[in-house]
């Protein structure tokens, strides 16, 4: 088996609509967190309850903010990849089950380039789990830019 080429950069392409959905969810979560934080003050003078509620709200806000950051980063990477990238189907060569509870697989994929470089993709997405179960002979849709050595598995519709 060929070596894994670490110089290939993996991105996680996302469609405009999906990114928008993630951002809306991020805003909703953050608003809930802020609202909950304000309402928690009504629990005074039960300060332990106020503190516990604030802690939960801070966590929710953190999830919201990271969701937003993630959506923006993925959309940016997708927009950068689209003009030069081409759609390909990557054959799955090997799949390792890397967790016990949730189904997460590390897929070993062969890039359709000279020399057939191998890359790895750890994922619990339906499409990738199915590809792992369907071995041998399964493929996953991807986008690849050979010149810049960027690639990414496509998990949903890439619109616009």
Query: Considering just the CA atoms, what is the radius of gyration of the chain in Å?
Result: 20
Does the protein bind Zn ion through residue 150 (CB under 5 A)?
Answer: no
Give the Cα separation of 4 and 148 in Å (integer): 17
Q: Which of 22, 128, 129, 150 binds Zn ion (CB under 5 A)?
A: 128
Cα distances from 131 to residues 28, 78, 112, in angstroms, run: 33, 22, 17
CB of 121 to Zn ion, least distance (A): 6
Q: Distance between CA 153 and CA 50 in Å, rounded?
A: 44
Interaction between residue 95 and Zn ion (CB under 5 A): no
Q: Does 123 bind Zn ion (CB under 5 A)?
A: yes
Q: Quick check: 125 binds Zn ion (CB under 5 A)?
A: yes
Token pair of 34 as six digits: 């802020």
CB of 13 to Zn ion, least distance (A): 11
Footprint of Zn ion (CB under 5 A): 123, 125, 128, 153
């Amino acid at each position: 088996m060929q070596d894994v080429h670490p110089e290939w950069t993996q991105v996680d392409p996302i469609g405009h609509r999906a990114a928008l959905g993630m951002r809306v969810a991020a805003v909703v979560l953050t608003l809930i967190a802020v609202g909950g934080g304000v309402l928690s003050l009504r629990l005074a003078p039960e300060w332990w309850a106020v503190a516990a509620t604030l802690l939960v709200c801070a966590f929710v806000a953190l999830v919201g903010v990271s969701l937003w950051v993630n959506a923006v980063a993925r959309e940016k990477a997708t927009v950068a990849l689209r003009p030069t990238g081409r759609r390909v189907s990557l054959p799955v060569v090997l799949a390792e089950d890397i967790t016990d509870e949730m189904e997460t697989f590390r897929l070993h994929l062969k890039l359709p380039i000279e020399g057939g470089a191998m890359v790895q993709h750890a994922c619990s997405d339906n499409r990738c789990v199915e590809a792992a179960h369907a071995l041998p002979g399964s493929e996953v849709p991807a986008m690849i830019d050979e010149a810049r050595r960027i690639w990414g598995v496509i998990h949903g519709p890439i619109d616009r």
